Amino acid sequence: MLKLGVNIDHVATVREARYRGCGHGEPDPVEAARLCEQAGAHGITAHLREDRRHIQDRDVWKLREIVTTRLNLEMANSPEIIGIALRLKPDIVCIVPERRQEITTEGGLDVAGQREAIRETRQRMNEAGIEVSLFIAPDPVQVEAAASTGTQFIELHTGAFAEAWPDPAARAVEVERLRQAAELAHQAGLRVNAGHGIHYQNLRDLYRVPHLVELNIGHSIISRAVMVGLPAAVQEMLALMRDYPAGGGAA
Ligand code: PXP
């Protein structure tokens, strides 16, 4: 069964728009996480950025207390955030690029350009009992590099797919890239997640990408929640995900 991790960063984005620096305020991403779990989400994702643009330190500590499914901390491979992650002990960290030089042309983490640094963080996390995922473009070079670091998961960056989606020809190209990357990663023994830009309309096209374990979805769910409420928005997404073919990758 394809799992849903809800990214709650945008709940914090709305709070920070009004209450930045106040140490409190609504809407509360922690309460949102609770509602997502109650609605059936399989995990909660939050990105503690170095610039603290949305999620704050107190959010991740409260999330660690209340999340009963899996807490996925998205993070840059930076000493400060690594230190926080090692103390926080999320179930999994997803290493994402925050600085320009860490980013491939498609926006994923340039693992091939920093294998040693990523491998070292992967090892420190694993020694602390934390699983590791790497957010990479569907690029064979990056998939191979990810496998060489010993990471447990990759998260395929679906941003290019989401951008191409309105154009059927461009969409087909991006789905094929995702399909091949997922296949390659699976053959290399990696577990495969996907995320960025996935919404209620484009999700079905990902049925053709095999071996997917979990989708991390934020913006579309939080946006839909404004209209129908968070539990309904989560349940609607889960209902669409139920049709992902067992084993994945139906033509
Ligand atoms: N996965 C990763 C690694 C991300 O950085 C993001 C965006 O914060 C997402 C998934 C979710 O993307 P979206 O908000 O577009 O669903």
**Percent with pLDDT over 90 in the chain:** 94
Query: Cα–Cα distance between 96 and 8 in angstroms, integer?
Result: 16
pLDDT band, very low/low/confident/very high, at 59 (cuts 50, 70, 90)? very high
Residue-wise pLDDT for 109-119, tens only, equals 999 999 999 99
Measured in residues, the chain has a length of: 251
Residues with a catalytic annotation lie at 47, 74, 196
Nearest-CA residue for atom 6 of ligand 1: 196
Q: Is the pLDDT of residue 126 over 60?
A: yes
Q: What is the mean pLDDT of residues 224-229?
A: 98
Q: Is the CB of 107 under 6 A from ligand 1?
A: no
Q: What is the mean pLDDT of residues 8-14?
A: 98
The per-residue pLDDT for 130 is 98
The 3-state DSSP composition of the chain as helix, strand, coil percent (nearest 5) reads 50, 20, 35
Q: What is the mean pLDDT of residues 94-118?
A: 94
Q: Is the CB of 74 under 6 A from ligand 1?
A: yes
Q: Is the CB of 135 under 6 A from ligand 1?
A: yes
Query: Cα–Cα distance between 132 and 221 in angstroms, integer?
Result: 24
Q: Which atom of ligand 1 is nearest to the CA of 199?
A: 16
DSSP characters over 171-196: HHHHHHHHHHHHHHHHHTT-EEEEES
Kind and range of the H or E element at 141? helix 140-148
Spans of all domains in the chain: 3-154+213-241
The per-residue pLDDT for 251 is 44
pLDDT band, very low/low/confident/very high, at 218 (cuts 50, 70, 90)? very high
Q: Is the CB of 96 under 6 A from ligand 1?
A: yes
Within 8 A by CB and 6+ apart from 59, the residues are: 12, 29, 30, 46, 48
The per-residue pLDDT for 14 is 98
CATH topology of domain 3-154+213-241: TIM Barrel (3.20.20)
95 close to 135: Cβ distance less than 8 angstroms: yes
Q: Is the pLDDT of residue 123 over 70?
A: yes
